């Protein structure tokens, strides 16, 4: 089989890249080890920056997003028994939209299928070869048959545990990593959200987040120990702890309901440089991970492939290689800005076992300054809704 760009991974990054390439008249094939049903239903990130929304609309993917997405013009910071709204749109002119990653994936798969795109799910034993030659090869097994995909370039969009990054020779890539001494216990509940905007709560017992996926479904998180066993958290305990950390403002109460899903996710920051080696271009979680506090993961992945889409178009349509050559440096400027913001939000709102009383007081002082200074609040808002240029 022959194509121009072979794409490993059918998450938002791989699927959007395939969509962008199609719009530029460039052929691609997407390979995914999971089933279509799995990737369309795995619950991940749910906050889209203004730039991500604009990109999806601009490329014909805005219909359902505009109907079902929840536009938010602010977030709430809750600490010390008080609630403080950060008016993001008033401060920046931009907003966020709550629209689950699985919904973005569904829209992308529908668009690629309607256009006759080549998507292969449930592939096994993917191997990359010839990445330093003019025609790389992706070997894999599909429906019991050994297959070969010959291409001009390979885009590795298969996450931090995928095969693409490991195909780069030792010594080429440098990893920058930060492990956090806590995790998030996340639940999806059949309960109407108790607030119209996201609530970030700082509490002596640990961080909590009140979010949503629709007018009927709430998404909630608790800071827990990194070795937490989900079996130790029955539904009643989860709701009790959420009430303790969130119901700190007089007159406000949490809506409860059946818990549909629950999981524990460790927190870490990771950047791998460079994001390219020879004919392999890496994007999304394959080269960077952020703690979800700043809602940057999916947005970074979409920003990566927007750059790649333009770079491949310049190569095929104009014979230019400057955008491909500069891809890693350009993408990393946004990645490191998002890394810093995510680290800052995480450090500000979570309680650490090693934290002494002095550091705890500094957190509260920073929160007071943030909620009383228009300049500081504008900095948070600019980063949260997504900087237009980095």
Task: Provide the β-strand partners of residue 277.
Answer: 280
CA–CA dist 214, 153 (Å, integer)? 39
Under a CB-based contact definition with an 8 Å cutoff, are residues 217 and 189 in contact?
Answer: yes
Burial environment of residue 132 by CB neighbours within 10 A (0 to 12, 13 to 18, 19 or more): exposed
Tens digits of per-residue pLDDT, 197-255?
A: 999 999 999 999 999 989 999 999 999 999 999 999 999 999 999 999 999 999 999 99
CA–CA dist 172, 282 (Å, integer)? 13
Active-site option among 99, 140, 327, 384: 384
Alpha-carbon distance values, 229 to 249, 262, 264 (Å): 30, 11, 8
Catalytic annotation present for 327 = no
Structure tokens at 179: 């492990």
CA–CA dist 124, 31 (Å, integer)? 9
Alpha-carbon distance values, 207 to 52, 185, 350, 379 (Å): 27, 11, 5, 22
* Nearest in space to 6 (alpha carbons), one of 173, 105, 109, 129: 129
Active-site option among 72, 210, 288, 350: 72
Alpha-carbon distance values, 147 to 102, 144, 167, 189, 333 (Å): 28, 9, 18, 42, 37
CA–CA dist 336, 343 (Å, integer)? 10
Give me the sign of the Cα torsion angle 327, 331, 336, 342: negative
Catalytic annotation present for 292 = yes
Under a CB-based contact definition with an 8 Å cutoff, are residues 209 and 223 in contact?
Answer: no
Under a CB-based contact definition with an 8 Å cutoff, are residues 296 and 346 in contact?
Answer: no
Which pLDDT value is given to residue 44? 78
Please report which residue ranges of the chain form alpha helices under DSSP H: 12-23, 36-41, 50-58, 63-68, 88-92, 101-114, 235-246, 297-318, 322-349, 357-370, 374-385
Active-site option among 140, 180, 200, 221: 200
Parts of the chain with a pLDDT under 70: 389-390
Three-state secondary structure call for residue 383: helix
* Nearest in space to 347 (alpha carbons), one of 143, 202, 214: 202
Under a CB-based contact definition with an 8 Å cutoff, are residues 150 and 4 in contact?
Answer: no
Which pLDDT value is given to residue 390? 52
Active-site option among 19, 22, 296, 350: 296
Which pLDDT value is given to residue 353? 79
DSSP codes of every residue in 44-74: ---EE-HHHHHHHHHTT--HHHHHH-EEES-
Active-site option among 193, 291, 292, 327: 292
Under a CB-based contact definition with an 8 Å cutoff, are residues 60 and 184 in contact?
Answer: no
Catalytic annotation present for 384 = yes
Q: Which residues contact 72 (CB under 8 A, 6 or more apart)?
A: 88, 95, 96, 97, 98, 196, 197, 198
């Amino acid at each position: 089989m022959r194509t121009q760009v072979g794409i490993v991974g059918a998450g938002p990054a791989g699927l959007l890249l395939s969509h962008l390439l199609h719009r530029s008249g460039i052929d691609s094939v997407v390979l995914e080890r999971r089933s279509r049903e799995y990737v369309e239903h795995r619950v991940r990130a749910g906050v889209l920056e203004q730039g991500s929304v604009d990109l999806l609309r601009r490329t014909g993917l805005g219909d359902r997003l505009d109907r079902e997405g929840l536009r938010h013009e602010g977030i709430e910071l809750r600490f010390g028994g008080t609630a403080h709204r950060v008016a993001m749109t008033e401060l920046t002119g931009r907003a966020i939209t709550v629209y689950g990653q699985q919904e973005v994936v569904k829209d992308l798969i529908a668009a690629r299928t309607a256009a006759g795109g080549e998507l292969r799910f449930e592939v096994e034993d993917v191997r990359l070869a010839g990445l330093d030659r003019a025609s790389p090869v992706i070997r894999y097994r599909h429906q019991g048959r050994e297959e070969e995909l010959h291409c001009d370039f390979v885009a590795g969009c298969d996450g931090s545990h995928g095969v693409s990054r490991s195909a780069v020779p030792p010594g080429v890539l440098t990893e920058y990593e930060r492990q956090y001494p806590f995790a998030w216990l996340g639940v999806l509940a059949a309960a109407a959200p108790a607030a119209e905007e996201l609530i970030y709560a700082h509490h002596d017992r640990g961080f909590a987040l009140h979010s949503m996926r629709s007018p009927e479904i709430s998404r909630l998180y608790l800071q827990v120990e990194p070795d937490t066993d989900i079996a130790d958290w029955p539904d009643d305990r989860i709701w009790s702890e959420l009430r303790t950390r969130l119901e700190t403002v007089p007159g406000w109460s949490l809506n409860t309901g059946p818990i549909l899903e629950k999981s524990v996710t460790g927190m870490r920051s990771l950047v791998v440089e460079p994001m390219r080696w020879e004919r392999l271009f890496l994007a999304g979680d394959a080269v960077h991970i952020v703690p979800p506090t700043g809602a940057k993961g999916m947005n970074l992945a979409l920003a990566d492939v927007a750059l790649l889409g333009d770079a491949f178009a310049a190569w095929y349509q104009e014979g230019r290689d400057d955008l491909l050559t500069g891809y890693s440096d350009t993408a990393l400027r946004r990645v490191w800005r998002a890394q810093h913001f995510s680290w800052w939000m995480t450090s500000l709102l979570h309680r650490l076992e090693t934290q002494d009383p002095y550091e705890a007081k500094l957190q509260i002082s920073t929160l007071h300054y943030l909620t009383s200074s228009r300049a500081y609040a504008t900095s948070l808002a600019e980063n949260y809704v997504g900087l237009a240029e980095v």
